[in-house]
Each structure stands twice: as structure tokens, then as C-alpha cells.
Amino acid sequence: MTGVPPLELRGVSRTYGEGAAAVHALTDVDLTVSAGELVAVMGPSGSGKSTLLTIAGSLEEPTTGDVLIEGTPLSGLRRNDRARLRRRHIGYVFQDFNLLAGLTAVENITMPLELDGVRTRQARAAGLKALEDLGLADRADAFPDELSGGQRQRIALARALVGERRLLLADEPTGALDSHSGEGVMRLIRSACRSGAAAVLVTHDAQLASWADRVVFVRDGRVVDSTPPPPGPESLLPGATGREAR
Amino acid sequence: MSVRHALLALLSEGPKYGLQLRQEFEARTGEVWPLNVGQVYSTVQRLERDGLAESDPGDAAQPGPQRRYRITTAGGAELTAWLHTPPGTDAPPRDELLIKVLVALRLPEVDVPELLQAHRRHTIMQMQQYTRLKEHAGDDVSLLLVADAQLFRLESLVRWLDVAQARLRDHVPPAPAAGAGTTGGSASPDDRSGSAAPAAFGRAER
């Protein structure tokens, strides 16, 4: 994919505290995520991977370095402009879904649109379309506690991608799900990337990371390694010639 | 992978030709385990010898590729017994990754965390391939099950590498015995490469 990358981190560092008590959560991190790309950030607890995600999503500011969303440096923006850019361009998915219990499935999905000034009827139409794409059209008016874990995470995913948002940031998005439901969520994230979204997934789970186009390894706040683009599945099929390898 | 029992399972569905057995074996195992036709015939001949399969009487006069084989009553009993027998629970005969890491601990010039990361990266890359395979498997349940099995096996390696890295950070292995062939002396937590393998090293070399 070409064009302006949805996300770029340039020399990002984040330090908490000062002097001898300073903790360097991230040190000089460069990361570019292209449209259509799914990047997994792997590392042990305390390696800085969640800090990387919150800084990428402009929920936290780097001590030094810059974050560019769709080519726009966040450091040059005023607080309100940064919040607007975040609302319009970035979707988040967390392990515990973070759905609002008092809103129905479709209302949870449309909330970011309505906060951004989209008319209720128009937002609802977009929400219903998202639910239809997820195979959950009949659950539009269900409340979160009436949905299974897998359904709740699919709703959270729809909320993260509704509207024009093309950057998905996910922190252990399948951590609360069984393996099979988790796979369903990862298939949806892959599908969103095939449609042009960029996604960053932080996880310590190798199976989850293996869905990514590229896996970046973080340790002690630094990017220490990454995988090259993986060969196609055909390399595992010495006897298969007729199977399509897309 | 027991080719012998997999072929018995295919014959339990009805008489089959050798080439047909090969094609169906590969299809049922997600085409991940190619089987040459020579293996098929030698395995079927052993099944015949052991009374577990027999040539279809009508085809007895035909040369190899034209012969159909079918399962015998004894073959059916063998298949049932095999399906219900748990896989071997003995320790694996040789864990190559474990041995490599244990050997690396004895070699002062080896950066062990870097070695662990290289294996982690390689294993994740293999997992990416199997995950792509799942993405493209559609409704091919055999292929999905094969990919799942490989992914869980590879994931366990990554988890072991993670634990190994944490252990090496927290515990300094004992220094090598005199004359052990390494130059490492007392190792600090930041000097893993000069550390020695634990006593388990000898046990791992079965």
C-alpha cells in the first residue's frame, strides 16, 4: 500500500519521574504502520508495549519524539484539535470491551459518530450496517449483558471502526475470550485491514500475534526485533498445487 | 503420525486402490503430510502380511496399481484399539531447542538472550504461515485442525522461550566445572554469556 501512513512514531521516548527515580518506559521508538497493515507488538509485561499503544492513540504524550496520524504531527495540535483527530481517525479495542452497559449494541456503535455531530438517524443507519457486516443485525437492540463475550467484542470492534476511522489500536483484544471466539475477532480485524484499515495489536500471546503481517518485539522499552513479511501458506503445502494462495 | 492406522481408517470406509489411498490420506491431513505411493504400497503390504487388510478377491490377479484393498475383521479391531489408546506420554526423546539453549549457556561467546529472540522470531514466523493457512482454509476442517495443532505446538515453544528468558534474568546458572571446556568464570546477571549450563544439561542429552 502507498500513500500517507495512518500511523507513524518518530523517535518516541517516554520517561516517568526524574533523576535517579526515572523510569524509561519507551526509548527512541520508530514505527510506521501502512494502510491495510496489521502490526503486532509483542513483549513481556512491563516491556512498554501498552505505553506504546496509548501514545500512538494520543491518550498520552511522548516525552520526546512525535506521533503522526494520517501524516499530521500530534505535537503541533491544540488539545481540542487533537481530541477531534483522535475521535475521527482512531478506534480502540480493549480486553474488557468497554461497552456502556446502559446503551444497546447499536447505540454503543453509533455513540462516537453522534459525539462528532452526525445526526442520530444517519448514525443509526451506519451502526445497523456495521452490525449486519458482523452478522449481528438481530442483536441491534440488545444490551451488553445480553450478549456473549465474543459478540460484545465484535460490537466493540464495530464501534472502533465506524465512520471514517482507519486506524485500529487493540490491547489484548481477545484476552477475555476462548480461543475460538478470539479467532473470530481476529478474522474481523484482518478483514478490516483488507478493507484498508491499519491496525496495531499489542499482546503477549503468540497465537494472536501470528495474525499480523509484521510482528515487532519490544523489550525494556525498545524495539529489539521484527519479523519480515511472512511467506504465503503455500510454502507449508508441499503436495498442494491446486489450493489458492492469496 | 501413524500412516499404518490412517490407511486402515480409510479402508474401513470400503475397498480402495493404492493411489486412491494416497490421495485421500493427503486430503484428510490437510495436504500437510505428503505421502509417496511407494510408502502406501509398502504399508498396505505390511497390513496384508499382518492379516489386517487383504486384496479384494476379484482383483487378486491384477498387478499392483489395479488392486483394491479392504480391511479385515482383525484390521477393524486394531483400528478401534488404536483410536482409543492415548498417545504416548513418555518425555519426548530429544528436545532440540532445549539442547541448543543449554549448550549456548556453556559458550561464553554466545549472546543467549539474542539466541532466544532469534528462535522466538523464527517460531512466530512459522506461526504466521499456519495462521495464513487457516485464513485460506475455508471450510476444510481437516486443514483447520492440522493448522490449530501446529499453532498450539509452536505457541508452547514461544511460551517456553519467554519463561527461559525470564529465568535467565532472575537466576544466574552455576559456573562451569573446572575443565568443562568453557572460559566463563563467575557470571553477573548482565553477563549471561559467560555462564554455564545447569546440571540438567547432561540429562537432556538422551
Largest CA distance in chain B: 77
Report how far residue B100's alpha carbon sits from residue B116's, in angstroms, rounded to the nearest whole number.
10
DSSP structure string for B182-206 = ----SPPTT-GGG----THHHHH--
Chain A residues with CB-CB distance to B123 below 8 A: 206
Mean pLDDT, all residues of chain B: 78
Q: What is the pLDDT of residue B196?
A: 39
Cell matching residue A5? 501512513
Least confident of B94-103, B136-145, B178-187: B178-187
Do residues A159 and A114 lie in contact, with contact meaning Cβ atoms separated by under 8 Å? Answer: no
Measured CA to CA, the distance from residue B192 to residue B106 in angstroms comes to 10
Q: What angle do CA A192, A198, A203 make, to 5 degrees?
A: 95
Dump pLDDT digits (tens) for B132-160.
999 988 888 988 999 999 999 999 999 99
Q: Residue A39: its pLDDT value, please?
A: 97
φ/ψ of B118, rounded to 5, equals -60, -40
Q: What is the pLDDT of residue A235?
A: 67
| Structure confidence at residue A205 (pLDDT) | 92
Assess whether pLDDT exceeds 50 at residue B188: no
Does B129 sit within 8 Å of A230, measured CB to CB? yes
Q: What is the pLDDT of residue A36?
A: 94
d(CA B141, CA A237): 16
Residue A134 domain flag: no
Nearest to A199 by CA among A214, A183, A184: A214
Interatomic CA distance for residues B44 and B50, integer angstroms: 10
Kindly report the nearest CA distance between residue A238 and chain B, in angstroms: 7
Question: Using a CB cutoff of 8 Å and minimum separation of 24, what contacts does B70-79 make?
Answer: B70/B11, B70/B14, B70/B15, B70/B16, B71/B8, B71/B11, B71/B12, B75/B8, B75/B11, B75/B12, B75/B47, B75/B51, B76/B12, B78/B5, B78/B8, B78/B52, B79/B5, B79/B8, B79/B9, B79/B12
Tell me if A121 is assigned to some domain.
Answer: no
pLDDT score of B191 = 39
A78 within a domain of the structure (yes/no): yes
Contact call for residues B127 and B151 (beta carbons, < 8 A): yes
Q: Is the ipTM beyond the 0.90 threshold?
A: no
**Is A177 domain-assigned?**
yes
Strands A7-16 and A23-33: antiparallel
Is A245–B136 a contact, with Cβ atoms under 8 angstroms apart? yes
Q: Can you tell me the distance from the alpha carbon of B88 to that of A71, in angstroms, rounded to the nearest whole number?
A: 57
Show which residues on chain B lie within 8 Å of chain A, measured between beta carbons.
26, 31-32, 34, 117, 120-121, 123-125, 127-136, 151-152, 154-155, 158-159, 162, 165-166
What pLDDT is attached to residue A236? 66
Amino acid at A108: N
- Yes or no: say if B28 and B142 are a contact pair by the CB < 8 Å rule: yes
Query: Do residue B124 and residue A239 have CB atoms under 8 angstroms apart?
Result: no
The vertex-B127 CA angle with B124 and B128, nearest 5°, equals 90
Alpha helix segments (H runs only) across chain A:
49-56, 79-89, 105-115, 120-133, 149-161, 179-194, 206-209
Quick check: is A204 in a domain?
Answer: yes
Least confident of A57-66, A144-153, B42-51, B170-179: B170-179
Predicted confidence at residue A238, as pLDDT, reads 54
At A69 the three-state DSSP class reads strand
Higher-pLDDT residue of B177, B66? B66
Domain B3-84, second-level architecture: Orthogonal Bundle (1.10)
Is A179 inside any structural domain?
A: yes
Q: What's the pLDDT score for residue A185?
A: 85
Query: Which grid cell is B52?
Result: 489386517
The reported pLDDT for the residue numbered B120 is 96
- CA–CA distance, A185 with B5 (Å, rounded to integer): 37
Enumerate the domain spans of chain B.
Answer: 3-84, 96-204
- CATH at residue A31: 3.40.50.300
Whether residue A151 lies inside any domain: the answer is no
Query: Does B171 score more than 80 pLDDT?
Result: no
In 3D, which of B142, B119, B143, B139 has the Cα closest to residue B131? B143
pLDDT in the model for residue A140 = 93
For position A162, what pLDDT does the model report? 85
Domain span including residue A82? 7-98+166-234
Amino acid letter at A175? Answer: G
pLDDT of B56-84, one tens digit each? Answer: 766 555 655 678 899 999 999 998 888 88
The reply to whether A114 falls in a domain is no
Q: Is residue B184's pLDDT more than 70?
A: no
Q: Are A181 and A208 in contact (CB under 8 A)?
A: no
Please tell me the predicted confidence (pLDDT) of residue B33.
Answer: 74
Q: Which residue has the higher pLDDT, B141 or B28?
A: B141
Q: How far apart are CA B119 and CA B80, in angstroms?
A: 39
Q: What is the percentage of chain B residues whose pLDDT exceeds 70?
A: 73
Q: Which residue of A has its CA nearest to B152?
A: A207
What digits encode the pLDDT tens for the residues A197-228?
999 999 999 999 999 999 999 999 999 999 98
| Chain A residue whose CA is closest to B121 | A227
Q: Give the residue ranges of chain A where pLDDT is below 50.
A: 239-246
Question: What percent of chain B clears pLDDT 90, i.e. is strictly above it?
Answer: 34
Single-letter amino acid code for the residue at B146:
V
b/e code A50-59 from CB counts within 10 Å (16+ = b): bbbbbbbbbe
The confidence score (pLDDT) of residue A54 equals 93
pLDDT at B176 over 60: no
Check pLDDT > 70 for residue B166: yes
Please answer yes or no on whether A233 and B135 come within 8 Å at the CB atom.
yes
- Tell me the mean pLDDT in the region B35-47: 88
- The pTM (predicted TM-score) of the whole model is 0.77
A225 contacts on B by Cβ (under 8 Å): 117, 121
Number of folded domains in chain A?
1
Question: In this complex, which of A190, A227, A235 lies closest to B135 when CB atoms are compared?
Answer: A190
